[in-house]
Structure 1
Amino acid sequence: MLLPIIQLVGPTASGKSGLAVDLALALAERGQPAEVVNADSMLVYRGMDIGTAKPSPAERRGVAHHLIDIMDVTETASVAQFQSLARAALDEVRGRGAVPILVGGSALYSRAITDVFEFPGTDEQTRARWEQALAERGARALHAELAARAPEAAVEILPDNGRRVVRALELLDLGQDLRPTLPTWTYALEGVHTIGLALDRQVMDERITQRVEQMWADGLVEEVRGLLEVGLARGRTASRAIGYRQVLQYLAGEFDEDEARAAVAAATRRFARKQLGWYRRDHRIDWRQAGTVEPAELAEHVLGLRQS
């Protein structure tokens, strides 16, 4: 019997993590084990809890979660590496007779896991040169350079996303194909069923504002201070995560606290809109209104997807 892979996607604050646990428990009640596989590249980091809205052990309610808290903040996570780890986790879960529920992540990461998705080559010296330029000049300056050299590619990358800007410039220097779009909508894995949680833009923005306020109340600044002691500032990817980057700027005196909080909310809204743009192009997604999905009904739907 081929067990399906259930992929939950949608904007920030649409309730994906909670629904994943609800679905896993509903499936277990019907005799079908299920486990959650994280597709968010920042949940892999130990200690990055508040700013990533990482589900706590209590919120996981006994449901097994994979690819959470597996790396130190000084380690660099790449899309290619995450693809390999996630696909291995999906195979492992299925091998135990459980339904994998793949949750969250950007369109880039979620599609790299499930879709036909190959990665162009790299060159350490070229990458190191652009990493140094990023540290000295900042992401927006490099994004302007990318826009001058490859305007179509620059449009598809947020100006603050230093990691993707560096990668694009590296590929340009290497003379490799720099495609402004993701590959065609073709699953590389069998049995993938993608469910999207739709959220009204105004509601999404309100939830994002509330979430950022709650993160501050829960101690995001203190969390970042603690992570600085274990090398957060040296982490190429962890230090650039939304929320952490702005708090680091606040602690460095570049923002006051109110400006940092506003910057986190603004960056999160930009990111959410960008992701929605990508997801809306994917005709394979079964869209459901966030907050209205009944776990029991969804569980029955999933059970009907099993193939002999």
Structure 2
Amino acid sequence: LKSDSLLYDGPVIGIAMDRAVLYDRINKRVHRMIEAGLPEEVKKLLASGLSEKAQSLKGIGYKEMIPVVKGELSLEEGEALIQKNTRHFAKRQLTWYRRMPYIHWVERGPSEEDIWYREIKAYVISYFGGETRWKEK
């Protein structure tokens, strides 16, 4: 499938935001993951016999936490590494999706939910020529 062709006929919408806001949200989310028990989860997985080389431990978050639970990195260093790798991944995703001409991008400001919601709604309705069963949130 070429990146400029669609498998289904429907609107494709990308929600963009200021990079500094995105990165701040990523950093906070990673912090919440650690507070919610990511180190303990990784420790339990390894203790259960799962290999460090298992595909399931190669994802962002798990792979950076292995050196933490082994005592090779501090929790703060592991957190910073997860944040950095997640930000890099997000940047690669944006680069990839920006090449797709069929995506209608909507800029999302920090407190403009109603504005971008209305823009998305208008785009979807216009995409279908005004005929759609839009369900309000």
TM-score when normalising by structure 1: 0.36
| Correspondence 1:186 to 2:5 | yes
Indicate the SS of the match to 1:294. Answer: helix
Report the AA paired with residue 268 of structure 1.
Answer: T
| Correspondence 1:273 to 2:91 | yes
Structure 2 counterparts to residues 28-177 of structure 1, below 5 A: 116=1
The answer to whether the 8 A contact 2:64-2:81 is kept is yes
The answer to whether the 8 A contact 2:3-2:100 is kept is no
Indicate the SS of the match to 2:11. Answer: strand
Report the AA paired with residue 248 of structure 1.
Answer: I
Report the AA paired with residue 235 of structure 1.
Answer: A
How far apart, CA to CA, are the structure 1 residues paired with 2:77 and 2:87? 15
- The superposition leaves residues 228-284 of structure 1 with CA deviations (integer Å, 9 ceiling, x where unpaired) of 326263522x21110110001211233111110100000011111111111112211
How far apart, CA to CA, are the structure 2 residues paired with 1:253 and 1:206? 27
How far apart, CA to CA, are the structure 2 residues paired with 1:186 and 1:214? 38
The equivalent position to 1:203 in structure 2, one of 14, 21, 26, is 21
% identity of equivalent residues: 32
**Shift of the alpha carbon at 1:299?**
8.7
> For the structure 1 residues 303 and 225, does the alpha-carbon distance in structure 2 shift closer, same or farther, using more than 3 Å as the test?
farther
> For the structure 1 residues 301 and 193, does the alpha-carbon distance in structure 2 shift closer, same or farther, using more than 3 Å as the test?
closer
Name the residue aligned to 1:220: 38
The equivalent position to 2:59 in structure 1, one of 230, 234, 241, is 241
- The superposition leaves residues 15-70 of structure 1 with CA deviations (integer Å, 9 ceiling, x where unpaired) of xxxxxxxxxxxxxxxxxxxxxxxxxxxxxxxxxxxxxxxxxxxxxxxxxxxxxxxx
How far apart, CA to CA, are the structure 2 residues paired with 1:272 and 1:239? 19
How far apart, CA to CA, are the structure 1 residues paired with 2:125 and 2:59? 33
Indicate the SS of the match to 1:289. Answer: strand
Name the residue aligned to 1:130: none
Name the residue aligned to 2:117: 294
Indicate the SS of the match to 1:211. Answer: helix
Gaps of 5+ in 1: 1-115, 117-182
Name the residue aligned to 1:250: 68
**Shift of the alpha carbon at 1:225?**
2.0
Name the residue aligned to 2:77: 259
Higher relative contact order (CA 8 A, sep 6+): 2
How far apart, CA to CA, are the structure 2 residues paired with 1:185 and 1:240? 30
Indicate the SS of the match to 1:203. Answer: helix
TM-score when normalising by structure 2: 0.75
> For the structure 1 residues 251 and 283, does the alpha-carbon distance in structure 2 shift closer, same or farther, using more than 3 Å as the test?
same
Q: Which has the higher helix share?
A: 2
Gaps of 5+ in 2: 133-137
How far apart, CA to CA, are the structure 1 residues paired with 2:3 and 2:97? 13
Segment of structure 1 superposing worse, 221-230 or 244-253: 221-230
How far apart, CA to CA, are the structure 2 residues paired with 1:191 and 1:209? 36
Segment of structure 1 superposing worse, 223-232 or 255-264: 223-232
How far apart, CA to CA, are the structure 1 residues paired with 2:45 and 2:117? 38
How far apart, CA to CA, are the structure 2 residues paired with 1:246 and 1:294? 36
How far apart, CA to CA, are the structure 1 residues paired with 2:89 and 2:123? 33
> What RMSD, in angstroms, separates the aligned Cα atoms of the two structures?
2.8
Indicate the SS of the match to 1:247. Answer: helix
